[in-house]
Amino acid sequence: VSGYAYGVAGWLMLVGVLGIVRARDLIAAVVSLSVTQAGSYVLLLAVGYQRGAVAPILGPAGAGSNPAAVVDPVVQAMTLTDIVVSATVTALLLALVIQVAKRHGTVDPDELRALRG
């Protein structure tokens, strides 16, 4: 199972990058960026996964009889933290896309000619 998860993570990252490279629309590029990011989250969660383990919610007594049988909370905290950061970045980028559409009259990256050489 974990090999499959790693495969999915790598696939998502590559597909996201390919999406940015081939996007004909900046909105699609920003969404592809989110796909790339989702790949890294799948990778993180796959790292912390254990078969048969429970959610890492520990009471004062720990995780019952078998303290080892929780999935790793650290990667989940990392994923959550990064989701928050990336939500900011995505919002900012989408706002910039709106301004690009207003000022350039297009959202096709092939037609943006202001900066080159």
Query: Residue 55 CB, nearest distance to another protein (Å)?
Result: 18
Query: Residue 61 CB, nearest distance to another protein (Å)?
Result: 17
Nearer to another protein by Cβ, of 65 and 88: the residue is: 88
Query: Residue 53 CB, nearest distance to another protein (Å)?
Result: 15
Rg, C-alpha atoms of the chain: 20
CA distance linking residue 111 with residue 104, whole number of Å:
9
Contacts to another protein by CB under 8 A: 9, 13, 17, 20-23, 26, 29-30, 33, 36-37, 39-40, 43-44, 47, 74-75, 78, 81-82, 85-86, 88-89, 92-93, 96-97, 99-100, 103-104, 109-110, 112-117
CA distance linking residue 87 with residue 64, whole number of Å:
36
Nearer to another protein by Cβ, of 70 and 75: the residue is: 75
Burial class (CB in 10 A: 0-12, 13-18, 19+), 47: middle
Neighbours of 44 (CB within 10 A): 19
Query: Residue 21 CB, nearest distance to another protein (Å)?
Result: 4
CA distance linking residue 11 with residue 65, whole number of Å:
38
